[in-house]
Chains A and B, each alone.
Chain A
Amino acid sequence: MRDAAPRVLGVLLRRFGDFAAAEDAVQEALLAAAVQWPAQGTPENQLGWLIHVASRRMTDQLRSESSRREREHALVAREASVPALVGDRDDTLELMFMCCHPALSDTSAIALTLRAVAGLSTVEIASAFLVPEATMAQRISRAKRSIERSAVPFAMPCAREFDERLRAVLRVLYLIFNEGYLTSEGAELVRVELSAEAIRLARILRAALPEDPEVAGLLALMLLSEARRAARTDSRGELVALERQDRTRWDRGAIDEGLALLAAALGRGAVGEYQVQAAIAAAHDRAARVEDTDWREIVGWYGLLEQITGGPLVALNRAVAVGMADGPAAGLALLEALEQPLAGHHRRYAVRAHLLEMAGEREAAIVDYCAAASRTASLPEQRYLLGRAARLGQT
C-alpha cells in the first residue's frame, strides 16, 4: 500500500496542484484504507480506490477554502483536461526531485521524502528520528510550505538543472541510509529501518533512471554496506569493527547484487563519488577473510574520492587504508597533515588510536581511544572505543 502513495500523490498533483493539500489528502486516504480494508475487504483496484478517496478529499478541501470561485474555476478547467486513464503514469521521479529540492534543508528533504515518496506515516518517521510526533508533523508541514513558496514545479527539471537535482536526490537518499541504526537495546522500541527504506527508494530511482551510473553506484553502495549489517553487532548489541566481523554472517546475495551493479556502472564512463564509495565497499566485501583485503586497491579508490569530493574525512579514511597497506607509520604520517582541519574531531583520535595500536604504542593508543570516546556523540561508538582502550590496558 505504501508503494501506492507516490503514485496517488502524482495523480493529485497533476489534477489539482497544491502540494501541501494533495499530500494531506494522500495521507488521509492511506489512513482510511488502513481502517476500512481489513473490515470491508481489500478492493480489486487498490490504486483506483486510493485515488478516488484522495481526490474527493481534495475537492472537499478546495471547495471549503476562501477564494472559492477562483479555485472552482481552476478545478473545473483542470478536471476537463486530465485524461480518463488513471495510474498508468509513474510520477515518482518528479516527486523525488520535488521533495529533494535544494530550497529545502537536509532535515526537511529527508522528512518530506520519507512521507511523500516512501509513504511512511508521521508516527513512523518521528519514531525513526526519536522526536515527538507533533514535532515531525510540523517539520513535514513546513517542508511542504517551503515547496509551495518556492514555486517548485511538479515536473522534470530542464536538462541544465537535471544533474544538480539528481545529485540532491542521491544525497538525500544517502543521508537517509546513513541515518544510523539502533542497536537492539529496547525490544519495545519500534523503529522503521531507514536503511531498508533508503534501499527501496534507491531501487525506485534506478527503475526510473536505469542508465545512470551514479544511481546504480548509490544502490550498489547501499547493498554492499547493508550486506554487513548482521555482523556489525554482536549478541549483546555491541559494535563489531570491520576487521573483526564474522564474515559468514554477511549477506552474500546483497553482495553479489551490489558487485554486479557496480561492474555495470563502472563500465559506463565518468566515475562519480557513489561508484567510488561502492568500489571501496566492494573491495572489503570481496575479501572472504580480512587478511585477503586488497588495501592497495582501497588506497587508490580513496585517492580518487579525494579528487572528486575532497574533504578531510575522506583524507582520514585514506590514511587508515594507507596504514593497512604500507604500515601504521605511513598512516600516522598522513594524519599529521589533518591535525588542523580535524582538530578535536572524534574520528581523528579514533583513527590515530587504531594506528598507534597497530604500531605497538599501547599507552598513546589508550590516550587517543579515551579522547575519541569523550568526543563522540554516539553511545555505541563510545562503548566500543572505551572497550578497545580497556582491552589494551589489560594486555
Chain B
Amino acid sequence: MKFMLNQYYAPIEGVEPMSRWTPEEVKAHIDFQRRMNDELRERGEFVDAQGLTGPEQVKIVTCDGVGAPVVTDGPFAESKEFLAGYRIIDVESPARAIEIAAQASAAPAQGGVPIKQPIEVREVMSPMSLDA
C-alpha cells in the first residue's frame, strides 16, 4: 500500500522556526531525516522523499482556459497551509505507515528535543483496478 506522509509549514507549539536553531541542531535534524530515508530504502519501503521551497516562493495559478492566467505571489496570510515536504512509502499496512509517520514526527529540534511535528498520512490512490 502506498502512503504519502506530508509535513506543513504551520508553526509547532513550543518550537522556534529553524532559522533560530544552532547550526549543530539543524545538522542533527537533517542527519535524522537522511538516516530515516536510508532506513526506509534498506527496508524496501522507500518510494520518494522531497523538500519543497518555502512559502515565500509559492505561486498560485488560476486560469479559465481562455484569458491569461492569474498568478498570485506571496506573501500569503495562510502560509501554514503550504506543504514543506513529503515522503512516499510502500508498506504492508496502514499500521506501518503510522509507525513511520511517528518516527518522522519525533525528529530532533532544538536541544535535540523531538519536534512532535504533525505528519499528515494519506493513502495514495492506485491506478490499478480491483478484480471484477
B-binding residues in A (CB < 8 A):
105-107, 129-132, 134-142, 178-183, 185, 225, 228, 232-233, 239-242, 377-382
Q: What CA separation (Å) do A233 and B131 show in the bound complex?
A: 11
A232 touching B126, Cβ below 8 Å:
no
Q: Does B125 contact A (CB under 8 A)?
A: yes
Q: What CA separation (Å) do A228 and B129 show in the bound complex?
A: 14
B130 touching A131, Cβ below 8 Å:
no
A105 touching B92, Cβ below 8 Å:
yes
Q: What CA separation (Å) do A240 and B48 show in the bound complex?
A: 33
A379 touching B125, Cβ below 8 Å:
yes
| A182-B46 CB under 8 A given contacts A131-B90, A241-B132, A242-B132 | no
| A138-B41 CB under 8 A given contacts A185-B127, A380-B127 | yes
| A382-B92 CB under 8 A given contacts A132-B46, A135-B41, A142-B44 | no
Residues of B within 8 A of A378 (CB): 125-126, 128-130
A178 touching B132, Cβ below 8 Å:
no
Q: Does B81 contact A (CB under 8 A)?
A: no
| A379-B132 CB under 8 A given contacts A129-B90, A135-B44, A142-B44 | no
B125 touching A377, Cβ below 8 Å:
yes
Residue of A178, A232, A377 most packed against chain B (CB within 10 A):
A377
19 A-B Cβ contacts within 8 A? A132-B47, A132-B48, A134-B46, A135-B45, A138-B43, A138-B44, A142-B44, A180-B126, A180-B128, A180-B131, A182-B128, A183-B127, A185-B127, A240-B132, A378-B125, A378-B130, A380-B127, A380-B128, A381-B130
Residues of B within 8 A of A181 (CB): 128-129
A225 touching B90, Cβ below 8 Å:
no
Q: What CA separation (Å) do A185 and B128 show in the bound complex?
A: 10
B92 touching A131, Cβ below 8 Å:
no
| A381-B47 CB under 8 A given contacts A129-B90, A134-B41 | no
- Which of A131, A179, A228 sits near B47, CB closer than 8 Å? A131
Residues of A within 8 A of B41 (CB): 134-135, 138
A239 touching B132, Cβ below 8 Å:
yes
Residues of B within 8 A of A242 (CB): 132
What are the 9 A-B residue pairs with the smallest beta carbon separation, nearest first?
A180-B128, A139-B44, A138-B44, A380-B129, A379-B125, A131-B90, A135-B44, A232-B132, A378-B130
